[in-house]
Copies of this chain bind each other. A is one copy, B any other.
Amino acid sequence: MTQPRPRIPEATVARLAVYLRVLTGLADGGRTTVSSGELASAAGVNPAGLRKDLSHLGPCGVRGVGYEVATLRDRIARVLGVERSRACVLVGIGNLGAALADYAGFGGRGFRFVGLFDAAPARVGQRVGGQPVRPMEELAEVVAATAASIGVIATPAEVAQSVCDRLTAAGVRSILNFAPVALVAPGDVDVRQVDLSVELQVLAFLGQQRDAGAPALPAPAVEVPA
């Protein structure tokens, strides 16, 4: 009954999600097989690293040929746990929340939002992404009824912790937090933090560093023909 779970590194899991997306696209395009080199280039990673990532799933390719697109896609989907659709609740239907609710990349990849919640009475009742926005009072009820295991927080930072508390109290065990605060949660709850502005600041730093120290750099920019 147990899965092949010799512990997959988290960095590998993140890349597996990318491979899954690429493979889904290839399958929709009618491709039946793909080589590690091609897949790696489409995913933006090193071919050897890709093969190492896939090796965690056990042998799933054919030497001399490559990987069967549909088979590999299904296998990754099963390992990632997106084989069956997962119920998620989304709290905070501001600009970002509405964008997330509408984001096609979620529904198409095994996630479905079973409840959108907001504390502002003005927002409650509006329809976003085909669903009505519900008041916070219904949160526990919906989580219990749908067995939602994932909660997404897209509220202002000030209320994120209290939303987190309510989600965990309702039984949610996994939380994705877009608010720029570090949440504290019970040890058996997974919390992942996404700060949209952090990436922008890393970019600014790299740009400043490049501009400051690179002028005399050789950097003939050899092109890599794909």
Contacts and interface: CB of A to CB of B under 8 A. Distances in A.
A96 interface: yes
Contacts of A150: 200, 203-204, 207
Contacts of A190: 203, 206-207, 210
B95 A196 contact: no
Interface string A167-198: 00000011110001011101110101111111
B205 A58 contact: no
Interface in A75-113: 79-82, 86, 88, 94-96, 98-100, 102-103, 105-106, 109-111
Interface residues on A, range: 35 or more
Residue of A44, A57, A86, A203 with most chain B CB atoms under a 10 A cut-off: A203
A50 to B, nearest CB: 12
B2 A207 contact: no
Interface string A1-32: 11111111010011011101100000000000
B203 A174 contact: yes
A18 B198 contact: yes
A33 interface: no
B196 A105 contact: yes
B207 A174 contact: yes
* Copies, count: 2
Contacts of A214: 188
Interface stretch (A63-71, A136-144, A215-223): A215-223
Given A81-B207, A220-B2, A224-B4, A198 B17 contact: yes
8 nearest interchain CB pairs?
A44-B182, A81-B208, A58-B224, A95-B99, A17-B201, A4-B224, A96-B99, A187-B221
Interface of A: 1-8, 10, 13-14, 16-18, 20-21, 41-44, 57-58, 79-82, 86, 88, 94-96, 98-100, 102-103, 105-106, 109-111, 149-150, 152, 173-176, 180, 182-184, 186-188, 190, 192-214, 219-226
Given A82-B201, A152-B200, A190-B210, 18 more contacts: A2-B213, A6-B222, A13-B201, A13-B206, A16-B201, A17-B195, A21-B197, A80-B201, A88-B200, A95-B99, A96-B99, A106-B200, A109-B201, A110-B201, A150-B200, A174-B203, A187-B219, A188-B210
